[in-house]
Structure 1
């Protein structure tokens, strides 16, 4: 046990006591003089002293070297140096000890959170323990979920310490990790008489020369995710190309005078088509022209059903996020950090440095649901609630992934999920599909088509066998 002077160190000494009582050989290394321990930690130290459990104080480099030697023979190292109270980068003896632990071959169990991880941001404060597993209490902290902190935690287990559920509810916590239990509660089993009309109609407005694949991917994803009827609405000159790529997905061409792009003049004809939809997607492969901003802004004000804005529909609003206030129906945005930066007139660096705050501010200010994509995708609701996705992996870094995600979310919304639930379930299942692929084929890049094809596998993993009919 490597213990600090605070209550985290006290927890480590409690672990030492219980392991000693169960017959394990334990030794405690203390990074503090006894007089400097917190009251609780001092109490636990006194208990160990009376039990004749050896406690060594690391005061200098010689003490650090003693720890290095000892770590060569142990079966487990418990990190109980600093928990959630870390407020400044590690330095001095503490940092040396962390480096020695990381260089050892001993597996590490972290108490509450690995030493060196900022519990509120997941950032590394100079140096941080790399643990195989972490045990925390009551609820997860942001540092357990956000990168790079989540990597340093290894497998994280939450221990019940008797916090009443009512107290958790009354605390009105506005940030939640998306896991299987949360997402499963958002989905339901279809009744026997369910038909394609019940599954909803999704219309996808997109496509331009060289980018007809984007709306097709979104359509395929919507189909696999269970939407009943999907129509890709594209400029008429591109319709034959789109139609050739699709089987179960319908197409509709809007007269475009052979230009291959949507223009404001096409909106009356477009509205007549998409008025039949339950959910509308605008953006995949839309392309950017001089008139595209006017086209997108006009659509936002005229759509009467829930809709998603993705890709070039977001780029068309660069620097004009307040345009979203024209919407009279629920709106979901799916920006990656670059699109988010353009939309909000911020830098990518500032967006990435404060992903939760950036997503929440835009969602509350413009009254939309925001999905800020990336490692640990953030979903922010108009009321300021935050959901952090826990699925997904770096092997998803390829073109078309955003189109697949958009189609999945649209399909979930078309089947009756609220915009917020559709966003949460969509990002979770999107990442889960890719995680299952990488599990079966380690270190192998996956494509959007792979992810779409494995949606049934992700659903099976999440839902398991359906319950028997009553």
Structure 2
């Protein structure tokens, strides 16, 4: 279906999944997201991911972070809910048995309690590579799969997957969002010594998705590529030529909100559907919508700020860009 669609047609299709605002909806129905990440060294990444989800229209954005990061992240905004549930190894003996006890007794009960109220999980932004944190990350991924929640993996979570591909293999609700370096690392780990120059980018991405059992891949680059098995669409809309830390985190949060809406649309939360889009196609449309929105906001931010543009400037334009791309027809005022 997608192969013959233009960008404008794909955008029109993606407008279907934008959740309207009805007076009978209650808080939380437009999305409850948990971003799991943030450590003492990296506090901006989870903030950008959670805030972008909120700015696009997710009702409730949570951050589950390492204890030392929580106060810092809380200071950025009162709009997000920040939970200091994760622990690093700096205060503990480097021992697997000890780590297992800490994770099972002190971390997981709190994390799982929150995840039971969540629609979608984003994991990895600002997570770091502390050994206790990474071991915790593996266990959280296992629990997310038990809960059967959509899962977006980025940044340090992708590093962990490159070390342990079985963590997400054959989990169809997993979405990975690699940049160029992360993609090459994943290809080597999953496909072996594939000569990337002899295969088209699309063929390699399809092969990776298929080998992982249908995991959705958001391959970031000059042209974003969205692949799930044999299904694929791409996006080369104009964005910003400025590259700055945090843009990928903004993308994960934005995609997360659209993914929740796509599931609500699929489940007919706001009325009957007038199409036969499959669940996989709706997933790719949500990724396309999020990518298009972030590119438009980045374009506007760069036009305004030029080389001084930062990720926070992109967030300034998310609302304006949403209005341009998706109009206000969903407000139902």
TM-score (norm 1): 0.57
SS in 2 for 1:316: helix
Pair 1:379-2:226 in alignment: yes
- Alpha-carbon deviation of 1:373? 0.3
**For residue 288 of structure 2, what is the aligned residue in structure 1?**
424
Question: How is 1:326-365 mapped onto 2 (pairs within 5 angstroms)?
Answer: 327=171, 330-345=173-188, 350=196, 354-365=200-211
SS in 1 for 2:287: helix
Question: 1:352-390: CA deviations, max 9, x gaps?
Answer: 9732122222222221111000101001124x2111113
- Alpha-carbon deviation of 1:240? 1.3
Question: How is 1:116-265 mapped onto 2 (pairs within 5 angstroms)?
Answer: 174=3, 176-179=5-8, 180-254=11-85, 256=87, 259=90, 265=103
CA contact (8 A) 1:215 1:284 kept: yes
In structure 2, which of residues 145, 162, 175 is the aligned counterpart of residue 318 of structure 1?
162
The structure whose Rg is larger is 1
CA pair 316-351 structure 1, distance change in 2 beyond 3 A = farther
Pair 1:301-2:147 in alignment: no
Pair 1:277-2:118 in alignment: yes
**For residue 450 of structure 1, what is the aligned residue in structure 2?**
313
Higher helix share: 2
| Distance in 2 (alpha carbons) for counterparts of 1:355 and 1:221 | 28
Pair 1:286-2:98 in alignment: no
**For residue 322 of structure 2, what is the aligned residue in structure 1?**
459
**For residue 160 of structure 1, what is the aligned residue in structure 2?**
none
CA contact (8 A) 2:89 2:133 kept: no
CA pair 223-465 structure 1, distance change in 2 beyond 3 A = closer
| Distance in 2 (alpha carbons) for counterparts of 1:283 and 1:403 | 9
Q: Which has the higher contact order (CA 8 A, sep 6+)?
A: 2
CA contact (8 A) 1:200 1:411 kept: yes
Structure 1 regions of 5+ residues with no counterpart? Answer: 1-171
State the number of aligned residues. Answer: 295
TM-score (norm 2): 0.78
| Distance in 1 (alpha carbons) for counterparts of 2:44 and 2:111 | 20
Question: 1:11-52: CA deviations, max 9, x gaps?
Answer: xxxxxxxxxxxxxxxxxxxxxxxxxxxxxxxxxxxxxxxxxx
Question: 1:133-163: CA deviations, max 9, x gaps?
Answer: xxxxxxxxxxxxxxxxxxxxxxxxxxxxxxx
CA pair 234-468 structure 1, distance change in 2 beyond 3 A = closer
**For residue 259 of structure 2, what is the aligned residue in structure 1?**
413
Question: How is 1:89-128 mapped onto 2 (pairs within 5 angstroms)?
Answer: none
CA contact (8 A) 1:237 1:258 kept: no
